[in-house]
Structure 1
Amino acid sequence: MRRTARLLMLSGLTGGVLALAAPASGADPGRLEVSPSGVVPGGEATVTTTACGTGGTAAGDASAVGAGPFTLAPGERDGEAVGTFRVPPSAQPGTYEIVARCAGKAAGGRRVTGDLVVTLTVPRERVYPRGSVKTGVGGALGPDPVQTAAGVAALAVAAAGGTWLLHRRARGDGI
């Protein structure tokens, strides 16, 4: 039991140290992060990576989508390289691989890739319905008291007429 507890504590400490050693930015050090998640033809895409190290630059290639080469320069965050390119208006919908090769001896010409998704529609925020649903079913008190009174009167007349007809039939007077 004690051995298991020590093992769990040791693995927890190791995980904590590894988490602190990870890069501070949201970019995966082995990938090229492309944003926004969906780009329309003619739109601009931004790529980010931490694979090139502090002050690192990279040569990007978006030829797969028809945009050609672009440059990644050091970004605002430490160890981050950022670049942008414009998706050509003639780009077809689909997923394209974007490639960047780190410059400098520190990164050793490391190659990183990411996926660009070209869509025909601009991704928008979700729109949630508001207000009531007009189903025709509701309470007796509607927005117009005159219509409510007319409806109640029509129901009363129908009930009285039905009762009168059933009463005559039961007596045998006929209809």
Structure 2
Amino acid sequence: MRRTARLLTPAALAVAAAGAIALPAYGADGDGGRGGGRGDAGGGVLEIRPATAVPGGPVTVSTTACGGDAAATGDAGAVGAGRFPLAPGTDRGAAAGEFRVPPSAQPGTYEIVAQCARGERRVTGDLVVTLVAARQPVAPRGSVKTGVGGALGPDPVQTAAGVAALAVAAAGGTWLLHRRARGDGM
């Protein structure tokens, strides 16, 4: 039982972390959990992808709140990106647009707004800005200082001399211990 718990705990943490990273920004809108954002007037959803962005990174915003052939105007002024157009597209009748998070943006949660061109519909969603990009694995680079390589530097001759001195010391110590164990004395 204990082994099962040990195996399940890292797996459960990995699944939870992957789910937290991969989810788009969704809020409560009364849409049965299908959409994202908060509908302020008339319902609808605002999807923000990625939900977590870094300064300088692109963000795509889409909404179905305006109808299949209606455009909208996005407002990312809270994060410092200003207004941007959302054009009608073929993706499930959604209007979509894109903006870039300004390089000067500070970490935090910012409200993104979309206002439909026709009517009074306005939907919002949250964008989280972090300094570290999510889902970007970092490969190790550089060298590790292990102490191997001689006292004065990584000179191969000095390294070989150091290894030889250690081998002689190990052989001498082994020989002395062997003599002592046999009772030959010193």
Shift of 1:72: 1.1
Is 1:115 the counterpart of 2:130 in the alignment? no
Give deviations 1:36-72, integer Å, cap 9, x for gaps.
3333334432101222221222222212112222221
Partner of 1:46: 60
Does the residue aligned with 1:168 lie in a helix, a strand or coil? Answer: coil
Partner of 2:77: 63
Does the C-alpha gap of structure 1 residues 28 and 120 become closer, same or farther in structure 2, counting only changes over 3 Å?
Answer: closer
Q: How many equivalent pairs are there?
A: 130
Q: Partners in 2 of 1:159 and 1:91 — Cα distance?
A: 65
CA RMSD of aligned residues (A): 3.8
Q: Partners in 1 of 2:86 and 2:131 — Cα distance?
A: 27
Partner of 2:30: none
Which has the higher mean CA deviation after the structures are superposed, 110-119 or 38-47? Answer: 38-47
Q: Partners in 2 of 1:92 and 1:59 — Cα distance?
A: 24
Give deviations 1:75-126, integer Å, cap 9, x for gaps.
231311101223334322211000112233xxx5322111122233444522
Is 1:100 the counterpart of 2:118 in the alignment? no
Listed as ranges, the matches of 1:30-41 within 5 Å are: 30-41=44-55
Are 1:27 and 1:50, in contact at CA under 8 Å, matched by a contact in 2? no
Does the residue aligned with 1:71 lie in a helix, a strand or coil? Answer: strand
The alignment's TM-score, normalised by the length of structure 2, stands at 0.52
Q: Partners in 2 of 1:33 and 1:57 — Cα distance?
A: 15
Partner of 1:82: 96
Q: Partners in 1 of 2:167 and 2:72 — Cα distance?
A: 78
Which is higher, the Rg of structure 1 or of structure 2? 1
Does the residue aligned with 1:73 lie in a helix, a strand or coil? Answer: strand
Partner of 1:164: 179
The alignment's TM-score, normalised by the length of structure 1, stands at 0.55
Are 2:47 and 2:62, in contact at CA under 8 Å, matched by a contact in 1? yes
Kindly provide the amino acid, as one letter, of the partner of residue 101 in structure 1: Q
Q: Partners in 2 of 1:52 and 1:114 — Cα distance?
A: 15
Does the C-alpha gap of structure 1 residues 66 and 125 become closer, same or farther in structure 2, counting only changes over 3 Å?
Answer: closer
Are 2:51 and 2:126, in contact at CA under 8 Å, matched by a contact in 1? no
